[in-house]
């Protein structure tokens, strides 16, 4: 995985044994003690109490474990709301300096539940969905359909029908086939549907690095040339109204350089297309990065918003065209840092891995079923013991799950106190985005509940699955065969 800006290479400290040192990734810093909750990684409400245990949103991890069990997704409501407001204000202020308006769509794929829809819409965000399921959750959460955007490279006829039926604000078109499909649906329903055209700008960004090529080999959107043809076709169709171009250049992006490059290419096309009519909007997508570990150092969203809006303004000025309003679609930066996953340690063992080296494996009661990102992308996370502090020497550890895969890694490399024992509560921060939404039932593991915390109160916003839930889909299973607890342990 391409890493972000590293603030230091690993200074192999005296606390690292020789047998461990070769296993330390070059970015991981040996801490003096392994108790600190590093600010940009944890929600700002996370703190240690007098007894050394951690609270989040004013709720003790012991209360969370006792009431809801582990593993558990904990989501800090104030943190989500604060990030939503910050994104909204950052883009409003950057756009305002250029005399245009902005719209921030929350990318629901990062984490969607009716409650989260309420939080982000309360804070003034629109919502971006990309399946019928996400659309229905957004509607059930009370989102105004006219403030919804609908994405996807293969939206079905049924999905498009439903989107038009509910009066969706805009559909981001992805292929020539979809243009005809949507036009026919809108015509049949007697409406004019606002559409954007998704463009592959040839800019792909991942964290701090971006690559600008003439072409991109990926499934989404139209090439720059193809997009021009698509817009010509859309303008011929009376049931569609072209409102702007769209591009999404990647994920976990730390600064605005990739966006600037993409904006240059988008504005070039936008300028050409103005010959055929007014274009009110430009959507630059999402992908703004967060700190998963203490060495990730994304630019503040205000800087990124300024960078993007300045780039668009410059490109428009060079071409002598009016600047459009600007939309964006952040997901991770809104919910990522607000989420913490709570686990209980089950086993700890040290494994000889050859050449005199050994690795400590700390096994927890979840894993790749609740956080697929390490297995899918080699993503790095951090971890802390949250039921107590420890003065024991920090020891390089690998946190793993309970699944039948050697790739079932939760945190590849982390310094945990050397005295970690079964029963300790271990928490992984920055799990608010793409963990719940990518969760699976692998090994017939019930998916954990999501609990929102705020002002010392905790409440379930998505209930956990039970063994009964799992058996319910198996037509051969007797419904009465299980007496499962909410967390699925059979009594």
Ligand X SMILES: Cc1ncc(COP(=O)(O)O)c(C=O)c1O
The set of catalytic residues is: 404
The position carrying tokens 């000889």 is 352
Cβ proximity to ligand X: between 329 and 408 the closer is: 329
Judged by CB under 6 A, does residue 178 bind ligand X? no
For ligand X, which residue of 76, 115, 329, 380 counts as binding (CB under 6 A)? 329
Judged by CB under 6 A, does residue 344 bind ligand X? no
Spell out the residues 6+ positions from residue 356 whose beta carbon is closer than 8 angstroms to its own. Answer: 18, 19
For ligand X, which residue of 83, 200, 204, 332 counts as binding (CB under 6 A)? 332
Q: Which stretch binds ligand X (CB under 6 A): 279-287, 406-414, 439-447, 455-463?
A: 279-287
Minimum distance from residue 37 beta carbon to ligand X (Å): 23
Interface with ligand X in residues 122-151 (CB under 6 A)? 151
Cβ proximity to ligand X: between 425 and 439 the closer is: 439
Judged by CB under 6 A, does residue 331 bind ligand X? yes
Interface with ligand X in residues 61-80 (CB under 6 A)? none
Q: Which stretch binds ligand X (CB under 6 A): 8-16, 284-292, 444-452, 461-469?
A: 284-292
Minimum distance from residue 331 beta carbon to ligand X (Å): 3
Q: Which stretch binds ligand X (CB under 6 A): 133-141, 285-293, 370-378, 459-467?
A: 285-293
Give the Cα separation of 23 and 44 in Å (integer). Answer: 31
Judged by CB under 6 A, does residue 113 bind ligand X? no
Judged by CB under 6 A, does residue 330 bind ligand X? yes
Minimum distance from residue 334 beta carbon to ligand X (Å): 8
Q: Which stretch binds ligand X (CB under 6 A): 46-54, 107-115, 183-191, 399-407?
A: 107-115
* 325, 95 Cβ separation under 8 angstroms: yes
Minimum distance from residue 273 beta carbon to ligand X (Å): 20
For ligand X, which residue of 16, 41, 110, 326 counts as binding (CB under 6 A)? 110
* 263, 315 Cβ separation under 8 angstroms: yes
Strands of the sheet with 250-251, listed across from one edge: 209-212, 203-206, 250-251
For ligand X, which residue of 71, 285, 374, 401 counts as binding (CB under 6 A)? 285
Cβ proximity to ligand X: between 251 and 369 the closer is: 251
Give the Cα separation of 253 and 451 in Å (integer). Answer: 28
**Residue 478: exposed, middle, or buried by beta-carbon count in 10 A (0-12, 13-18, 19+)?**
exposed
Minimum distance from residue 228 beta carbon to ligand X (Å): 20
For ligand X, which residue of 80, 100, 107, 409 counts as binding (CB under 6 A)? 107
Cβ proximity to ligand X: between 260 and 332 the closer is: 332
**Helix axis angle, 224-236 to 176-189, nearest 10°:** 20
11: left (phi over 0), alpha (psi -120 to 50) or beta: beta
Interface with ligand X in residues 417-436 (CB under 6 A)? 433
- Residue 187 tokens, joined: 């015509």
Cβ proximity to ligand X: between 286 and 446 the closer is: 286
For ligand X, which residue of 69, 202, 286, 366 counts as binding (CB under 6 A)? 286
For ligand X, which residue of 169, 287, 446, 449 counts as binding (CB under 6 A)? 287
Cβ proximity to ligand X: between 16 and 430 the closer is: 430
Binding interface with ligand X (CB under 6 A): 107, 109-110, 151, 248, 251, 285-288, 329-333, 433
């Amino acid at each position: 995985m391409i890493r972000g800006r590293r603030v230091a290479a690993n200074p192999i400290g005296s606390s690292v044994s020789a047998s461990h040192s070769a296993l330390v990734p070059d970015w991981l810093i040996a801490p003096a003690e392994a108790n600190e909750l590093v600010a940009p990684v944890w929600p700002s409400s996370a703190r240690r109490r007098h007894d050394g245990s951690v609270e989040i949103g004013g709720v003790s991890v012991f209360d969370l474990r006792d009431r809801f069990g582990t593993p558990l997704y904990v989501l800090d409501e104030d943190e989500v709301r604060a990030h939503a407001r910050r994104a909204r204000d950052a883009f409003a202020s950057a756009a305002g300096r250029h005399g245009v308006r902005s719209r921030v769509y929350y990318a629901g794929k990062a984490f969607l539940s009716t409650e989260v829809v309420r939080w982000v819409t309360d804070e003034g965000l629109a919502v971006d969905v990309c399946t019928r399921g996400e659309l229905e959750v957004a509607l059930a959460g009370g989102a105004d359909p006219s403030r919804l955007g609908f994405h996807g490279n293969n939206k079905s006829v049924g999905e498009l029908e439903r989107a038009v039926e509910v009066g969706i604000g805009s559909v981001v078109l992805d292929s020539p086939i979809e243009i005809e499909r949507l036009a026919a649906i809108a015509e049949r329903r007697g409406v004019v549907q606002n559409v954007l055209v998704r463009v592959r700008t040839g800019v792909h960004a991942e964290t701090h690095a971006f690559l600008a090529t003439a072409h991109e080999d990926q499934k989404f959107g139209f090439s720059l040339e193809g997009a021009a043809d698509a817009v010509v076709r859309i303008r011929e169709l009376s049931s569609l109204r072209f409102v702007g171009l769209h591009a999404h250049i990647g994920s976990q992006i730390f600064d605005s350089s990739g966006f600037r490059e993409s904006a240059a290419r988008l504005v070039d096309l936008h300028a050409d297309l103005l010959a055929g009519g007014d274009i009110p909007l430009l959507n630059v997508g999402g992908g703004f990065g967060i700190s998963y570990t203490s060495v990730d150092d994304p630019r503040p969203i205000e800087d990124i918003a300024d960078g993007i809006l300045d780039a668009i303004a410059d490109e428009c000025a060079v071409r002598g065209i009016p600047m459009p309003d600007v939309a964006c679609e952040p997901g991770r930066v809104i919910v990522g840092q607000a989420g913490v996953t709570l686990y209980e340690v089950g086993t700890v063992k040290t494994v000889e891995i050859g050449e005199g080296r050994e690795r400590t494996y700390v096994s927890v009661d979840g894993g790749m079923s609740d956080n697929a990102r390490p297995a899918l992308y080699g993503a790095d996370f951090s971890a802390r013991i949250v039921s107590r502090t420890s003065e024991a020497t920090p020891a390089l550890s690998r946190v793993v799950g309970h699944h039948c895969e050697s790739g079932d890694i939760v945190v590849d490399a982390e310094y945990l106190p050397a005295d970690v024992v079964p029963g300790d509560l271990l928490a992984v921060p920055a799990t608010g985005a793409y963990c719940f939404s990518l969760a699976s039932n692998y090994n017939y593991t019930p998916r954990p509940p999501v609990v929102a915390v705020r002002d010392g109160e905790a409440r379930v916003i998505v209930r956990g699955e039970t063994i009964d839930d799992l058996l319910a889909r198996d037509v051969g299973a007797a419904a009465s065969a299980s007496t499962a607890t909410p967390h699925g342990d059979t009594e």
